[in-house]
Structure 1
Amino acid sequence: MTRKKKSDLFCLYYINFNKVFEIAMLLDNKVITGEETQSNSNHSLKLAAKIKGMLAMVYEGTANISYDYSKGSQLRKTVEIKMTNSVVLKDLIDEVKLSDKNIRNAQEGQLILIDDVNLSLVNEEETRQIKLVKQGVLDRFVHEDISLGEVMKPMLSDYSYQLIGKKGEDNYLIKIPANADNEFENNYTIDDLLLGKVSLIGIYNGVKSSSDLKNTFTYLKGNGTQEDQIIDSQTGEDTNVIEQFHYIDILAITQKIHM
């Protein structure tokens, strides 16, 4: 069984497993469930045939008789392979050719991997308010027997976290569906993605602005906030311009593990 290189190790923050699995199956639809290794040990023994030798001396006058004896042993070992999210993702990562080093020549639809990116939330205050509503904070507020929280939740069904990533001179834009539960792998939260450098794996979709990423809530709100400005959660600065980003249809977010 082939061991992974230490440089291949990573911790999984987020994965859109359905997309990753479909693409992985297009690359190779054979799923390995186990592998078997077999080792053989053969040796030959050249033994003097004493009995035959004695008889030969009597009947033929010669005793230079011997024979080869071959003995073989076989060891068979079966290894069960666990198909985890990370294993499926690793097969996909091996096929990625596009990175920040050749982003200038990128074409839409290419698989892309960007390492060592610092992420920050777009419009963090609104995002955190929406998260509280989806978690049911307003459910107990009732007006004329109607729960305000329950009324709002359908409008938030397609709401997503919007994050910008910076590396060198290039800026990247991604979005992650904001679900009330099980948003991220291994009990991570959105805040864990903002603490250090991460790797982005996805599909390159060209250059876009934050206002291009629409949802029901921002459409109904209609106040032009997202179209007019981007508020960086790390600096708190209002850029007051429409920035352009390399947009990545995100498949997974990981963190490198160095050993």
Structure 2
Amino acid sequence: MFNIYYINYEKAFEISMLIDNKIQEKSDVEKNIVGKLNGKASLNTDNIGNVPFLNKIFPKAGVDFSGEGSRTKKVADSFKVVSTKSTILDPIYRKAIEAKKLSDNKIGNLIKIRNVSLDITNEKEILATKSLLSGVLKQIPIDETGGIDITGLLEVLLKDSSYIFSGNFKDGTITFKIPMKVENEMESQYNVTDLEIGQVTLIGVYRGIYSKKGIDGKINRLQNLSNLSKPKLDDNIETEPEKKDDDNGNEDEKTHFIDVIAIIQELTIK
């Protein structure tokens, strides 16, 4: 059994329907109750013959009676089958291949990766993006905008923003993204920070090996907008090479990218 932290319901529903597109709506359980009746009786008139006059009415005789029968009762119980996100995800969970080594997977494999600890790698961008998407700029007058709805424009530019997660596995690192929303991003009242506490199980599609720098450049929308806003320098002007931030580690490090369908917590119930 499992509990869902995050699920991309649209992806999960489509894949689940490919596995089996029959959704049970009702379950009927019939109970047959069978009863068997046995009986035996006897009549002996020997003693009656000793009574005057009755011996003429009841001749001496011995009679045995026996009978056998059965009774069947049928009871039908009807149950309503409730379809939830967990029931949609369950066939995907059972069909997914458990990853022992990431390097053994092929692109397109439906896999589940157990016991992964996760970290958010773009916390600064998340804070800035959420502040902009929450409409904070509506309260701040901006001169020389020419009547442009800056907040509306940013919502369009940043609507594809995502959380970028990274985790370590047996033979490498894992990277995946979750679309960013202002609210209701997680299931069951969880929030994004809950994914950084303890170990979780990932269910998704293996997409191959990429460089971390390349993945971040494709996903991080706010950083891309920031790069566009930087003034271009004349080609003849020599510039110093950009220094790498040692805290970020090796930017050319390779990572296994997963197209995540769901993040779950596996349950043990006795």
Q: Which TM-score band applies after superposition, normalised by the shorter structure?
A: 0.7 to 0.9
1:255 aligns with 2:254: no
Q: Which runs of 5+ in 2 are unaligned?
A: 46-57, 229-241
Q: Where do 1:101-250 residues align within 5 Å?
A: 101-143=100-142, 144=145, 145-210=147-212, 211-212=214-215, 214-215=218-219, 216-222=221-227, 237-250=247-260
Kindly indicate whether residue 27 of structure 2 is the aligned counterpart of residue 35 of structure 1.
Answer: yes
Q: Using the alignment, how far apart are the partners of 2:148 and 2:16 within structure 1?
A: 46
Partner residue, 2:91: 91
Aligned residue for 2:231? none
Deviation at 1:204, TM superposition (A): 0.7
Aligned-pair CA distance for 1:98? 3.3
The separation in 2 between residues aligned to 1:243 and 1:127, in whole angstroms, is 22
Distance in 1, Cα, partners of 2:15 & 2:244: 33
Offset of 1:62 from its aligned partner?
A: 7.0
Return the alpha-carbon distance in structure 1 between the equivalents of residues 162 and 106 of structure 2. Answer: 25
The answer on whether the counterparts of 1:40 and 1:72 sit within 8 Å (CA) in structure 2 is: yes
Checking the alignment, whether the CA contact within 8 Å between 1:98 and 1:110 is kept in structure 2 is: no
Alpha-carbon shift at residue 16 of structure 1 (Å)? 0.5
- Cα distance 1:187–1:82, how it changes in 2: closer, same or farther (>3 A)? same
Match of 2:11 among 7, 12, 19: 19
C-alpha distance in 2 between matches for 1:139 and 1:195 = 35
Residue 32 (structure 1) shift: 1.1
* Inter-CA distance 140–43: structure 2 relative to 1 (3 Å threshold): same
* Matched position secondary structure for 1:109: coil
Q: 1:69 to 1:50 in 2, by over 3 A?
A: farther
Q: Which moved more, 1:136-145 or 1:157-166?
A: 136-145
The separation in 1 between residues aligned to 2:132 and 2:196, in whole angstroms, is: 22
RMSD: 2.8
Deviates more, 1:125-134 or 1:21-30: 125-134
Percent identity between matched residues is 29
**Bigger radius of gyration, 1 or 2?**
2
Task: Answer yes or no: is the 8 Å Cα contact 1:44–1:68 preserved in 2.
Answer: yes
Q: Distance in 2 between matches of 1:243 and 1:186?
A: 35
- Of residues 112-121 and 124-133 in structure 1, the stretch that sits farther from structure 2 once superposed is 124-133
Matches of 1:78 and 1:37, distance apart in 2: 6
Q: Cα distance, 1:256 vs. partner?
A: 2.3
Aligned to 2:80: 80
* CA shift for structure 1 position 76: 1.9
Structure 1 stretch displaced more, 213-222 or 105-114: 213-222
Larger displacement relative to structure 2 (13-22 or 77-86): 77-86
8 Å CA contact retained: 2:102, 2:171: no
TM superposition shift of 1:49: 6.7
Alignment gaps of 5+ in structure 1: 1-7
Aligned residues: 237
Amino acid at match of 1:125: K
**2:27 aligns to what SS in structure 1?**
strand
CA distance in 2, matches of 1:191, 1:34: 38
Secondary structure of 1:163's counterpart equals strand
Q: Deviations over 1:166-214 (max 9, x none)?
A: 1334211110111112211122221111122111111111112332351
Contact 1:139 1:150 in 2 (8 A): no
Assess if the C-alpha contact under 8 Å between 1:141 and 1:148 holds in 2: no
Amino acid at match of 1:82: V
Could you state the TM-score of these two structures normalised by the residue count of structure 1? Answer: 0.80
Cα 1:85–1:43 change in 2 (3 A) is: same
CA distance in 1, matches of 2:42, 2:34: 24
Using the TM superposition, give the Cα deviation of residue 65 of structure 1 relative to its aligned residue in structure 2, in angstroms: 4.8
